[in-house]
Structure 1
Amino acid sequence: MNVLILAAHDGQHIDPTTAHIVGAASRLASGGAVHLLVLGHRCATVADQAAGLPGVAQVLLVDDAAYATPNAETIARQLAALGRDYQWLVAAHDLRARAALPRTAALLEAAYLSDVIGVDADSLRRPIYAGAAISHLQSTARTTCLTLRTSAFAPVRDSAAADAVIVQIPAVPADTRTQLVGRDVATSHRPDLGRARIVVAGGRGVGSAASMALVEKLADHLGAAVGASRAAVDAGFAANAVQVGQTGKTVAPDVYIALGISGAIQHLAGIKDAKCIVAINKDPDAPIFQVADLGFVGDLFEALPALQAGLPTAN
């Protein structure tokens, strides 16, 4: 049962989450081969990094100018051209894969499952109803396309692994019906939200964009990433890029500090993998307290200064 992984990278460095995908793919392969596909332009360095990942038998490199910024349709074409040789086509559950893999499944008449959080011997697991329940599924299709929640899988580790073989393959003709006309990249000195060990998040209870600065101040004090609930984003307190939840980012930090967040089920779906949840809310009946490991009922603006004063600064 061979597996093909679509590698995530920025053109120079392979995304660290790829090691998590390889770990899950090794279980899917069940003795078969795990191959990794690198799409891009002038990205030989990425292919070299991919070849060093334990468990990867072969790296397929498509290095073409048309793939510098490939759209979802082009990625789907390339995956479909290779996909019939694999039982599983796998990628991280990011925006690019969520757009490309359903198109790939349509081209191959294959199955598609998104946001898979578990790979068992006889089934796959994925959340449903905004994480309120977990479904166990089996795929009988010849080829199945999967996106995996990287935070749910441990990265592969095997220091004895040898470098994989890199094979350069031709690019399929690009689909030019849609084109990238610009990119707006948010820059921040803070840790990446999806990989941060500590996340400090504000919700509707913060009250204003100006008060959100207190949340950011605590995050900077701890060397943490800043997050926000959808309610806070919709109210204009925070940027969409830091939204956490079902329609935002899924996080799995060691500590998640929820400030003024009531805990709607859609938000809880994005933080269920956090190791420790700390909540401050003035409403004692807020749903966030049902999942919090530590909770404080009280005024946020009185608690925040005291909390910051009692916590050490980041190293």
Structure 2
Amino acid sequence: MATLIGKTFSQATRSFLKASNWSRLASSLVIAEHNGSDVVPLTYNSIGAAKQLGGDVTVLVAGKDCSNVSKQLAQAEGVSKLLVAQNDIFDGFLAETLTPLILETQKQFNFTHILAGAGAFGKNLIPRLAAKLDVAPISDIIGINGEREFVRTIYAGNAIQTVTSSDPVSLITVRGTAFPPSGPTGGSANIEDAPSVAVSYDLSKFEGQELSISERPELTAAKAVISGGRGMKNGENFELLYNLADKLGAAVGASRAAVDAGYVPNDMQVGQTGKIVAPELYIAVGISGAIQHLAGMKDSKVIVAINKDPDAPIFQVADFGLVEDLFKAVPELTEKL
């Protein structure tokens, strides 16, 4: 169970947890997220969080072809062991097929923590796994106070909650922007085969995927992000942001309003129900500043807002604001660069 720690959470309760089954040395399993050839950067943030828990860090890599990914993660700093499960059944990384593998791995190794990044992959996998293990998942953590105490945001980031887990294993999703990534080199992990398990699931199957290929940096890993909102009016006008992003070496995102209107695909959404970003520079163009969007970008180092409405809420969190028509301001800014 996960319990909110406040003034009513007694020191005696904490002492009981320390004296119970949590006295064993921490050991963490990180579920690697990858695309078949490269590691998704969020995995390194999850490894960084696991290192803060102390004890050994093991990484599980599963997929149709894991050879390149295994070589990359074996060199990750802080990883002591790499478990590899390579089978066609894991193509598409479905939670329905990965869960039996992780359950068997947990049965054999008895980890105290199982972690995944708080992206679409982790948010899909960890709750299903938690249900099978009959434990409460702890989602989207932004801090670690100890082996059993974790910090997360609630109410769209307007309140901070500290939770404690008394479950025998803590299942956690990690907000990547809150934890420094583990170094991709400097380690030398032992590579072993993951426990064998018979996986057969007919209720869902992976048919295929359509990937958008871009030379721009990945949204959650970019040092600069430019996002457009409903004020862009249509998808074609996002070309203004693409041109500006190419000059800055930035990634391009969007508000939920822009995604819901069909201007851009939903993998570009920044916000509470989209991707959480914290770049060095965030430029919000034609975005009003709804709480849903602010929850996904307000930790950015420098926030710049361009909006013709001087009363737009986005100006309350912006470091620099420009009250101007974006169709005039953005081309001028691109030309100056």
TM-score between both structures, scaled by the size of structure 2: 0.86
| Residue aligning to 1:226 | 252
The counterpart of 1:197, out of the listed 211, 218, 223, is: 223
| Residue aligning to 2:306 | 280
Other structure's SS at 1:194 match: helix
Counterparts of 1:284 and 1:268, CA distance in 2: 17
Other structure's SS at 2:328 match: helix
Counterparts of 1:86 and 1:170, CA distance in 2: 14
The counterpart of 1:215, out of the listed 225, 231, 241, is: 241
Residues 48, 243 of structure 1: alpha-carbon distance in 2 compared, 3 angstrom cutoff: same
Q: CA deviation at 1:43?
A: 1.4
Counterparts of 1:140 and 1:13, CA distance in 2: 35
Asked if 1 retains the 8 angstrom alpha-carbon contact of 2:92 and 2:208, the reply is no
Other structure's SS at 1:117 match: strand
Q: CA deviation at 1:158?
A: 9.4
Q: 1:101 corresponds to which letter in structure 2?
A: I
Residues 68, 205 of structure 1: alpha-carbon distance in 2 compared, 3 angstrom cutoff: closer
Other structure's SS at 1:163 match: coil
State the percentage of identical aligned residues. 44
Runs of 4+ in 1 over 3 A off after TM superposition: none
| Residue aligning to 1:248 | 274
Segment of structure 1 superposing worse, 74-83 or 13-22: 13-22
| Residue aligning to 2:14 | none
| Residue aligning to 1:173 | 198
Other structure's SS at 1:62 match: strand
Match status 1:185 vs 2:208: no
| Residue aligning to 2:45 | 20
Q: 1:80 corresponds to which letter in structure 2?
A: L
Residues 1-315 of structure 1 aligned to structure 2 (within 5 Å): 1-28=26-53, 30=54, 32-84=55-107, 85-121=110-146, 123-157=149-183, 161-174=186-199, 175-311=201-337
Q: 1:24 corresponds to which letter in structure 2?
A: A
Asked if 2 retains the 8 angstrom alpha-carbon contact of 1:281 and 1:297, the reply is yes
Other structure's SS at 1:177 match: coil
Q: CA deviation at 1:257?
A: 0.6
Deviation digits for residues 159-190 of structure 1 (CA, Å, limit 9, x no counterpart):
7x541111113432223321012212122232
TM-score between both structures, scaled by the size of structure 1: 0.92
The count of aligned residue pairs is: 308
Q: CA deviation at 1:137?
A: 0.8
Asked if 2 retains the 8 angstrom alpha-carbon contact of 1:111 and 1:143, the reply is no
Q: CA deviation at 1:69?
A: 2.8
Asked if 1 retains the 8 angstrom alpha-carbon contact of 2:307 and 2:323, the reply is yes
What are the ranges of 5 or more consecutive residues in structure 2 without an aligned counterpart?
1-25
RMSD: 1.8
